[in-house]
Structure 1
Amino acid sequence: MSTYTQHLSHLQTRAELALARCGFDAMLIASGVEKFAFLDDRPYIFAPNPHFKHWLPLVNHPDSWLLIRPGHKPRLVYYQPDDYWHVPPADPTGEWVPLVELILIGKPEDAAAHLQVPGRLAIIGEADAALPGLTPNNPQNLLNLLHYQRAYKSEYELDQMRAASRRAAPAHRAARDAFLAGASELEIHRAYLAACGHTDRDLPYSNIVALNEHGAVLHYQYQDAVAPAQSRSLLIDAGAQVNGYASDITRSWSAGDGAFDALLAHMEAAQLALVDEVRAGVDYRDIHLSTHRLVAAILQDLGVVKMSVEAQLEARVTSTFFPHGIGHLIGLQVHDVGGFMADEQGGVSAKPEGHPYLRLTRPLDEGMVVTIEPGLYFIPTLLRKLQATPIAASVDWTLVEHLSRFGGVRIEDDVVCRAAGSPPENLTRDAFAALAGLPRPDVKQS
């Protein structure tokens, strides 16, 4: 039995149990509809309902539906219009086809006739996916069950995520090479797309391509077409997608500077140590707090802040330099759902006090996939606030001014939590290592 067949069987069993527990007879899942800009006929890039692509590797299929019933094959109502304005979905092919009851339709409204089944229906989707008599109700108790369990990846899902990492790794290498050649942010972005075979519409999220000071903007959203007079550093946060599953990788590069290279080396060592903390039974919040301790040690070792680690943590100095969370769940969505869930009933597991941006607060377990992405930045607005406190006297502002020209450092890997006692699987490092005979792009090259 293939990993996909096992995956589909597992989803069917999970769905049947969830429906029974929540008092529903069947579940309808809308793929979603194409959306248009206000007062325009220009569509936004289609993003499928993640519940839909959990079952099927179909990511460009608006107006399609899944019907899930106990004891039945999944019924797929597959929208395939006869359209000469746009390319319609291809004829259904792939391993999934014989595993579903397939119904082709040419008009979105035709789906309703194939989804009307007796009993109480759970309808999962956005409001605009509604059909006559079929309005999404998104029952929270059912969603809680599905979202909590989605953190545990099947072997099929892990295969897709490994492939997404392998797709992104050579693109990161191409981006690095473009940076070292003096390319602009836009040119680096284009080099990345060409190397991974994506277009902007295929990416799992918009690439962050930040040269120099732009690396201090955590979600830098632009790509300058003109290269700076001097390219000192590159921070690139970019992933890839395979069958609806994402990779999320960040690398930081130096054009050569002693102080910044030292920071890169310290962050590389810290990131690998944090990856090793991804173990079954570990509270992810503890990894986040461990990151602050490591960042404090780096600030102390490099002479940026002349305070002990404990003193920095007590005064929350590290939040100036590392203001985001250490990472998140990843899978069907880059920031996958269920990160704050304490249980299947929807209870919330709180963030540590003073750490509002952490996206995952659950204990880790076998099959979970998380990102580990420590950062250390020189963000003007946060530095100004620090400068206005008594702690300012303990900061080497000359060194801060110098390092600010490089923006900051972030290093991010996608990591699988394995069984108790086993080390984690690093999807990102494995993908880079697979580029045989080439220098590893996760180590600073001068």
Structure 2
Amino acid sequence: MDNNLYAEHMATLCRRYDTILEACGFETLNVFSGAPRLQFLDDNPYPFRVNPHFKALVPVTDNPHSWVIYQRGRKPKLLFYRPVDFWHYVPPVPQAFWSGFYDIELLGKPSDAKAFLSADSAAFIGESDSLRDWPLGSDNPELLINRLHWARAYKTPYEIACLREANRIAMAGHRAAEQAFRSGASEFEINQAYLGAAGQGEHRMPYGNIVALNAHAAILHYNHLSTERLPESELRTFLIDAGADCHGYCSDITRTYAYADNAFAQLVAAMDEKQLELVDGLKPGLPYPALHRQCHLKVGELLAQFGVIKTSPEGAVESGLTRPFMPHGLGHFLGLQVHDVGGHQSGPDGGTTPPPAQYPFLRSSRTIEENQVFTIEPGLYFIDSLLEELKASPLATEVHWEKVEAFRPYGGVRIEDNIVVHAAGNENLSREGSVPTGFNKVTETTVTPSN
């Protein structure tokens, strides 16, 4: 990676924050990393999750009680919590590629931060319930947050490099998970193989891994991780939806595998082709809901191809017949959060553009633009509750139910990649060798700061 990449990223952030703060009438932004929360009636905390607005400014994801104080036109200040503690891990003084871009003050206890804070012409972003009577400034001002969320959709080259690395890490985990599946491992064991290959623990994962065998693949957010090993004669399907972290940026990849060479394996291969066609359809200027509708048309084509429905793909989309088989949205923004912010935002100042009424779970209603990053994740499922509703509806006569019953034990199929929209073409971060012609692929993420 170019040593100036992080410097360019910080220059972009500073311009962005200076402009937004001035427009909103603030000189200072106080951003709190967060504080651990104790479990009910216990002295153990829940796993810590950093405030995404904090890691948007500094790539520190695992240190509570820390702050970024950003003042317009000045070098940002990082208040880094580093107590004397023999019970817990104490992070070292930051000496990383990013640390030269901050004035760093060490905090021995959380309350030490109070002396550095001022409420004068200041805004605060974070959870304030543990900070009563602190000089924070305006608490989570809506206009400021809306403008920051809108701007976050446009990724810098540094951010895209982090997303590439998060995908590289996750792909290593996915390869290990497939091998474990084919060796007969349980869901729990497959997940352990994934974590080991990724080199990241479950609390560092951007979300709870979905590791589903057979009919469990029809549960969209299945996280149970059964320890039961299935005999080879019962192995049918393996669906894994799992990502990884790089400097606070997320990957989010899904793959589906058939154990045997059969009709379901053909369905998985056909869905993979449709998914890549949808990736190619991700173009600047296209409203994301229009691509979602194309997804339903492709799902209709698969349902017709494999004899599940009697009607045409177009007719299935118009009647709503595809919806029970593909109930979720095509994808979402990706970045510092798995479902990154601003997907339904109407403009920089806020407002909401809801998804089409027939597709209520679609997470983006924005128009696709250059330097945005999306997931593309079409699926086709055989979900008992939705099939029962379909069977009781007037559309039931358009379904070959014997085909549904044949596919039901397999649960379903979903294929998901992470896509950067470039001027020169899309870059599929989740597949090797997918960089557009003339685009230099960057995989290193360690850079040297410029003081």
**TM-score clears 0.5:** yes
Q: CA deviation at 1:129?
A: 4.7
What letter matches 1:287 in structure 2?
L
User: What is the aligned partner in structure 2 of residue 155 from structure 1?
Assistant: 157
The residue that corresponds to 2:391 in the other structure is 387
Gaps of at least 5 residues in structure 1 are 434-446
Using the TM superposition, give the Cα deviation of residue 6 of structure 1 relative to its aligned residue in structure 2, in angstroms.
Answer: 1.1
Aligned positions of 1:284-323 closer than 5 A:
284-323=288-327
* Segment drifting more, 305-314 vs 357-366: 305-314
**Which whole-Å deviations, capped at 9, do the CAs of 1:211-236 have from their partners, x for residues lacking one?**
00000000012000012232111000
Task: Report what 2:269 is aligned to.
Answer: 265
How far, CA to CA, are the matches of 1:303 and 1:423 in structure 2?
Answer: 35
- Give matches, 1:361-440, under 5 Å: 361-419=365-423, 422-430=424-432
Moved more, 133-142 or 405-414: 133-142
SS in 1 for 2:88: coil
Q: Read off the aligned partner of 1:236 and give its amino acid letter.
A: I
1:133 counterpart residue number:
134
Match of 1:54 in 2: 56
**Contact 1:148–1:344 under 8 Å retained in 2:** yes
SS at match of 2:79: strand
The separation in 2 between residues aligned to 1:53 and 1:330, in whole angstroms, is 15
Partner of 2:441: none
What's the offset of the Cα at 1:36?
A: 1.2
The list of structure 1 runs, each at least 4 consecutive aligned residues, that deviate by more than 3 angstroms after superposition, is: none
Q: CA deviation at 1:353?
A: 2.2
1:387 shift after superposition: 0.9
**Given the two structures, how large is their TM-score scaled by the length of structure 2?**
0.93
2:347 aligns to what SS in structure 1?
A: coil
Query: Cα deviation per residue 1:377-414 (whole Å; 9 max; x = unaligned)?
Result: 00000001111123222212111111111100000000
Structure 1 residue aligned with 2:217: 215
Please list, as runs of the form range in 1=range in 2, the aligned pairs for 1:135-284 lying within 5 A after superposition.
135=136, 137-229=139-231, 230-284=234-288
Q: How many residues align?
A: 430
Once residues 131 and 389 of structure 1 are traced to their aligned partners in structure 2, the CA distance between those partners, rounded to angstroms, is: 55
Alignment identity in percent? Answer: 44
Which digits, 9 at most, give the CA deviation of each residue in 1:84-115, with x for residues without a partner?
00011222111222211111110100001012
1:31 alignment partner in structure 2 = 33
Q: Residue 104 of structure 1 aligns with which residue?
A: 106
Counterpart of 2:350 in 1: which secondary structure? coil
Tell me the equivalent position of 1:436. Answer: none
Matches of 1:13 and 1:394 in 2, distance apart? 56
Aligned letter for 2:314? E
Residue 269 of structure 1: SS of its match in structure 2? helix
Q: Distance in 2 between matches of 1:318 and 1:57?
A: 42
Check whether the contact 1:164–1:241 (CA below 8 A) recurs between aligned residues: yes
* TM-score, L = length of structure 1: 0.94
CA displacement at 1:299 relative to structure 2: 0.5
SS at 1:319 equivalent: coil
In the TM superposition, 1:318-329 aligns within 5 A as 318-329=322-333
Equivalent pair of 1:293/1:313 in contact (CA under 8 Å): yes
* Partner SS, residue 417 of structure 1: strand
Secondary structure in 2 aligned to 1:310?
Answer: helix
Letter of the structure 1 residue corresponding to residue 129 of structure 2: D
Separation in 1, partners of 2:392, 2:145: 46
CA RMSD of aligned residues (A): 1.4
CA distance in 1, matches of 2:318, 2:94: 59
Stretch moving more, 200-209 or 255-264: 255-264
Q: Aligned equivalents of 1:431 and 1:38: distance in 2?
A: 48
